[in-house]
Amino acid sequence: MKKIKLIINIILPSIVCVIGLNFIFGELYFYPLLFGVVLGLFNWKLHKKKPITGVLLSIIVSYATFCLAYFGWGGINKLIGLVFENMGHRFYGKESIALKTFVMSFFLIAPLLVFYAFGFVFNITKTKLTKSIVVLSIIILLSYSVFDLYLTSTNNILPKSFSVFLWQFIMALGLQLILYQQELKKVFYKDK
């Protein structure tokens, strides 16, 4: 029974994020609100501060990382464009550069920022498992983005909304696994 309750505590926020996205889909600036509220409320007792303050910090951190990734994408895209222009190259691959900087910003930098920044909100134990979860989450997101770019260039099968759903699901699941890693070890390794 304890195992099932723990698994539900870990998976449920990811599922709620995906279900919540169905109600706010297309409203870009509500994505971080949903992510912050869900993680803040589901991890009510795991905040470094008082629970209400923790939920507010969770929302602030979610918006801060979203804005850094979003505006970082524009800045990186512009910087790389200027470098290529100054090197004598004309924008032979303007769309290609934009896609690569998008992937780098939202599927590499944003997850790193989220994992790092939520360390200020929650009591996160930094272990080898924490690092493994972060790396695995980023590998899954980057693999999906490369796969999606390939499908888009050939024959788009997946809807564009899928990347938003996958990002929130993987990131919420990764954070939950990190937050509950001690409990997972106690429950699953005590039998052995």
Domain ranges for the chain: 2-189
What's the CA angle centered on 140, arms 92 and 174, to 5 degrees? 130
Residue ranges of the chain whose pLDDT lies below 70: 81, 83-97, 150-161, 190-192
User: Any idea which residue has 């980023």 for tokens?
Assistant: 138
Q: How many residues does the structure list for the chain?
A: 192
Q: Model's pTM, two decimal places? A: 0.86
pLDDT of residue 154: 54
Per residue in 134-163, pLDDT tens? Answer: 999 999 999 988 887 766 655 555 555 678
pLDDT of amino acid 159: 52
Distance CA 191, CA 187 (A): 8
Q: What is the 3-state secondary structure (H, E, C) of 59-119?
A: HHHHHHHHHHHHHHHHHHHHHHHHHHHHCCCCCCCHHHHHHHHHHHHHHHHHHHHHHHHHH
